[in-house]
């Protein structure tokens, strides 16, 4: 902690003591924690949240000793705040840490050290009342310290690489930009639901019980699925919930630009899960390992299922080839405006890839690989614009080899955007689902008999 940070803390937190005394207390507690933390068994192997918890008794004892020696009274609440401050500064993200620890916080946008906006789970957005650093330079130092404990690979960030994307220790995804804007700009997206199931999402109203059974059945039938939607619509959350219904012993490999899914961190759900992350090269490009490289590697890693998070142009062809040649069950997420727009997005990415696929080749590969597209949206009639499944579309072939053909099994309600049943799966997919334990709802059977579909 810098002298500036210490002084700022003492003056601004209202601890009931003068700034000089607060700074002395911080120095003393830091020294005691540094000297005694290695007495905690396995301290260095603990995660940052675990380290913060582990050093709390040391910090509390050090503060009590300091106050007794100085004969200084300090209210209990002030002592708790000072200890938490030490925990966050030494083994967290300083003034940002309380926001990251708040389960109601979804997104944090930082436009310089003193302009912070917080979006909550209920949809409200408020400006944070306090700066999170002393200056923009201090903010850059804070973010730089976070990089050293995040992700699998070193993430260069500086004047020559001003854009950073990284997974924070708590699973949040942070994108930071500096040196190309007037102030450092940081956006943090948090996934409040780490260990989430389809039953949980049913309770939140993302879909109904019939669709829950449909989703379970397509997973058990090993369908290849693209989950699409806008930013923040719940793609990653749905993907995690769908995979939570599988046998924990299935070998799952996840591939992402920045670690976000975290299936390997939920061993009771996924005992045999491997997380891989794209690695950036150095200034000369050496050492770069792309998502496409990692997708290809999974074919020799005995994977039962592969997940590709946020498909980009470099990985789309490798992903489609894996879907077409594997044993099914591969899933990916994609940004798109509708379920139908997914096809245009994939064809565009394939054309931009190093393979430079023609439209005809891309259509052929897509129709051989993707079974279903699930699209998420928000229900505008709810107070917090609830995340909902809006459309499920089956890939059925192509139109003269030029464009993908599809059937919308569930289509969005024009008002609520929630998916409503519109059609039956193809015979091929339907039989696979039946073999996987699917029991169609009575509406399927009665409407099919009446020739409605």
pLDDT, average across residues 392-421 = 92
pLDDT at res. 128: 94
Same domain, 292 and 414: yes
Same domain, 22 and 71: yes
Q: Where residue 314 falls among pLDDT bands split at 50, 70, 90?
A: confident
pLDDT, average across residues 146-166 = 75
pLDDT, average across residues 416-434 = 92
> If we measure between CA atoms, which residue out of 236, 132, 258, 121 comes closest to residue 186?
132
- Residue partners of 437: CB distance under 8 A and separation at least 6: 216, 217, 220
- Residue partners of 368: CB distance under 8 A and separation at least 6: 320, 324
Q: What percent of the chain has pLDDT over 90?
A: 52
Same domain, 183 and 207: no
Q: How many domains does the chain have?
A: 3
pLDDT at res. 447: 57
Same domain, 52 and 108: no
The string of pLDDT tens digits covering residues 242-291 is 999 999 999 999 999 888 888 998 999 999 999 998 887 776 777 888 88
Distance CA 228, CA 80 (A): 44
Please report, for the domain that includes residue 144, its CATH number.
3.30.450.90
pLDDT, average across residues 310-339 = 88
Most confident of 153-157, 167-171, 269-273, 439-443: 269-273
Within-domain flag for 96? no
Same domain, 205 and 236: yes
Same domain, 344 and 413: yes
Q: Which residue has the higher pLDDT, 429 or 148?
A: 429
Q: Is the pLDDT of residue 200 over 90?
A: yes
Cβ atoms 153, 290 nearer than 8 A: no
Same domain, 158 and 277: no
- Beta-bridge partner residues of 255: 276, 308
Burial class (CB in 10 A: 0-12, 13-18, 19+), 96: buried
Mean predicted lDDT score pLDDT of the chain: 87
Same domain, 275 and 381: yes
Q: Is the pLDDT of residue 9 over 60?
A: no
pLDDT at res. 303: 92
Same domain, 293 and 272: yes
Distance CA 229, CA 338 (A): 7
Give the chain's largest Cα–Cα span.
86
pLDDT at res. 49: 79
3-state secondary structure the chain: CCHHHHHHHHHHCCCCCCHHHHHHHHHHHHHHHHHHHHHCCCHHHCCHHHHHHHCHHHHHHHHHHHHHHHCCCCCHHHHHHHHHHHHHHHHCCHHHHHHHCCCCEEEEEEECCCCEEEEECCCCEEECCCCCCCCHHHHHHHHHHHHCCCCCCCCCCECCECEEEEECCCCCEEEEECCCCCCCEEEEECCCCCCCCHHHHHHHCCCCHHHHHHHHHHHHCCCCEEEEECCCCCHHHHHHHHHCCCCCCCCEEEEECCCCCCHHHCCCCCCCEEEEECECCCCCCCCCECHHHHHHHHCCCCCCEEEECCCCHHHHHHHHHHHHHCCCCCEEEEECCCCCHHHHHHHHHHHHCCCCCCHHHHHHHHHHHCCEEEEEEECCCCCCCCEEEEEEEEEEEEECCCEEEEEEEEEECCCCCCEEECCCCCHHHHHHHHHCCCCCCHHHHHHHHCCCC
pLDDT at res. 181: 92
Number of CB atoms found within 10 A of residue 248's CB: 14
Q: What's the pTM value of the predicted model, to 2 decimals?
A: 0.78
Distance CA 311, CA 200 (A): 26
Please report, for the domain that includes residue 402, its CATH number.
3.40.50.300
Within-domain flag for 97? no
Q: Which of 91, 124, 155 is the last residue of a domain?
A: 91
pLDDT at res. 160: 80
pLDDT, average across residues 108-120 = 95
Q: Which of 138, 157, 189 is the last residue of a domain?
A: 189
The string of pLDDT tens digits covering residues 431-445 is 999 999 998 877 665
Indicate the pairing of strand 331-335 with strand 305-308: parallel
Number of CB atoms found within 10 A of residue 439's CB: 11
The string of pLDDT tens digits covering residues 23-57 is 888 889 989 999 998 889 988 888 777 888 899 99
The residue range of the domain holding 375 is 198-449
Distance CA 115, CA 132 (A): 9
pLDDT, average across residues 295-311 = 91
pLDDT at res. 231: 86
Q: Which of 158, 189, 220 is the last residue of a domain?
A: 189
- Residue partners of 291: CB distance under 8 A and separation at least 6: 255, 256, 257, 278, 308, 312, 314, 315, 318
Q: Is the pLDDT of residue 374 over 90?
A: yes
Same domain, 164 and 304: no
Distance CA 93, CA 145 (A): 8
pLDDT at res. 86: 87
Q: Where residue 151 falls among pLDDT bands split at 50, 70, 90?
A: low
Q: How far apart are the first and last CA of the chain?
A: 66
Same domain, 180 and 202: no
Q: Where residue 193 falls among pLDDT bands split at 50, 70, 90?
A: low
Number of CB atoms found within 10 A of residue 75's CB: 11
Q: Which residue has the higher pLDDT, 205 or 443?
A: 205
Lowest mean pLDDT among 91-105, 212-226, 340-354, 388-402: 91-105
Same domain, 308 and 400: yes
Q: What percent of the chain has pLDDT over 70?
A: 91
pLDDT, average across residues 169-195 = 87
């Amino acid at each position: 902690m810098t002298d500036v940070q210490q002084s700022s803390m003492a003056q601004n937190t209202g601890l009931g003591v003068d700034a000089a005394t607060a700074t002395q207390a911080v120095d003393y507690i830091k020294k005691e924690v540094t000297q005694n933390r290695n007495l905690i068994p396995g301290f260095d192997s603990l995660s940052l949240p675990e380290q913060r918890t582990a050093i709390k008794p040391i910090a509390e004892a050090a503060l009590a000793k300091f106050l007794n020696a100085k004969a200084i009274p300090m209210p209990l609440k002030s002592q708790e705040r000072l200890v938490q401050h030490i925990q966050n500064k030494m083994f967290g993200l300083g003034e940002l840490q309380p926001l990251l620890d708040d389960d109601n916080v979804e997104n944090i946008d930082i436009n310089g050290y003193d302009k912070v906006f917080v979006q909550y789970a209920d949809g409200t957005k408020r400006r944070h009342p306090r700066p999170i650093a002393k200056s923009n330079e201090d903010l850059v130092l804070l973010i730089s310290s976070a990089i050293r404990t995040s992700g699998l690979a070193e993430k260069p960030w500086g004047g020559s690489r001003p854009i950073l994307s990284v997974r924070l220790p708590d699973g949040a995804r942070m994108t930071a930009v500096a040196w190309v804007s007037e102030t450092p700009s940081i956006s943090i997206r948090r996934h409040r639901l780490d260990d989430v199931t389809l039953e949980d999402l049913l309770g939140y109203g993302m879909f109904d019980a019939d669709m829950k059974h449909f989703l379970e059945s397509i997973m058990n039938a090993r369908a290849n699925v693209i989950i699409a939607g806008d930013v923040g619509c719940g793609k990653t959350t749905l993907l995690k919930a769908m995979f939570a219904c599988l046998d924990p012993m299935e070998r799952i490999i996840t591939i992402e630009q920045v670690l976000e899914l975290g299936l390997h961190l939920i061993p009771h759900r996924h005992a045999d899960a491997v997380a891989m992350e794209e690695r950036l090269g150095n200034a000369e490009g050496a050492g770069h390992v792309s998502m496409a490289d990692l997708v290809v590697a999974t074919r020799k890693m005995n994977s039962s299922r592969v997940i590709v998070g946020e498909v980009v142009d470099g990985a789309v062809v490798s992903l489609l080839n894996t879907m077409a040649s594997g044993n099914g069950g591969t899933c990916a997420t994609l940004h798109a405006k509708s379920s139908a727009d997914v096809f245009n997005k994939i064809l565009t990415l394939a054309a931009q890839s190093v393979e430079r696929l023609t439209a005809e080749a891309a259509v052929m590969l897509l129709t051989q690989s993707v079974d279903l597209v699930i699209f998420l949206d928000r229900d505008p009639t709810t107070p917090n614009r609830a995340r909902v499944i809006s459309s499920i579309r089956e890939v059925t072939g192509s139109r003269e080899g030029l464009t993908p053909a599809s059937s919308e099994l569930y289509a969005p309600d024009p008002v609520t955007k929630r998916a409503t049943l519109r059609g039956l799966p193809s015979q091929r997919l339907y039989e696979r689902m039946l073999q996987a334990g699917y029991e169609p709802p009575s509406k399927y059977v009665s409407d099919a008999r009446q020739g409605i579909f």
